[in-house]
């Protein structure tokens, strides 16, 4: 799609497939010439107490929330290192800083994203690649994420908590702000909550 001098393309991709993520990066370079920014936003949030043993949901969260992030980074990093520029933005969560009952595995995956972001930042700073890394940690945001919880007890609590959710555009503006900084400025960590959110 072309509009106002810009070009938008897409390729349906499964973030849990390393091969498909590599194909997406190659397709982007082929169509647009290079990759300037990666926004790692894929995620799911099925929540339940550990004793309920929702092992399939644990596996899916690990595959999407952790491995998906790593696969996307690995797909874009070689070209960004070659061009000596780029910006990798990982969407963690307030749950990547706090832990709460029922969200144990989800919190674990988002703590992992926070750690991956910081590790990547340090590695690329050490190697002088001029690649910026930003970890964005949203609180309650209106999105389809809430619908990935199947446990009725946890879902009821989340529905109540998310009544004060902010809109997704608030996160988009935050991401745009980080991208718009001069190339020698890296905003590494941003936490964005509804004003009334406590935890």
Mind telling me the catalytic residues? 106
Give the torsion sign (CA, 5, 11, 15, 21): negative
Buried b (16+ CB within 10 A) or exposed e, 1-23: eeeeeeeeeeeebebeebebbbe
Q: Which residue has the tokens 């969407």?
A: 91
Sheet strand arrangement including 86-91: 37-40, 86-91, 131-138, 189-192
Q: Which of 51, 14, 7 is CA-nearest to residue 28?
A: 7
Encoding tokens for residue 188? 């590494």
The string of DSSP letters for 154-198 reads HHHHHHHHGGGPBPHHHHHHHHHHHHTS-TT----EEEE--TT--
């Amino acid at each position: 799609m072309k509009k106002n001098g810009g070009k938008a393309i897409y390729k349906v991709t499964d973030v849990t497939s390393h091969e498909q993520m590599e194909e997406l990066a190659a397709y982007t370079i082929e169509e647009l010439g290079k990759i300037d920014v990666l926004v790692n936003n894929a995620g799911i949030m099925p929540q339940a107490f550990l004793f309920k043993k929702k092992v399939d949901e644990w596996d899916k969260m690990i595959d999407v929330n952790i491995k998906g992030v790593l696969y996307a980074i690995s797909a874009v990093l070689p070209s960004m290192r070659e061009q000596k520029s780029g910006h990798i933005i990982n969407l963690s969560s307030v749950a990547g800083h706090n832990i709460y009952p029922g969200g144990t595995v989800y919190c674990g995956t988002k703590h992992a994203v926070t750690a991956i972001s910081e590790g990547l930042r340090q590695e690329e700073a050490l190697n002088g690649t001029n690649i910026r890394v930003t970890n964005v940690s949203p609180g309650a945001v209106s999105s389809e994420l809430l619908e990935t919880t199947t446990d009725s007890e946890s879902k009821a609590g989340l529905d109540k908590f998310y009544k004060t959710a902010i809109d997704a555009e608030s996160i988009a503006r935050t991401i745009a702000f980080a991208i718009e900084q001069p190339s020698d400025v890296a905003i590494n960590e941003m936490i964005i909550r509804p004003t009334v959110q406590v935890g």
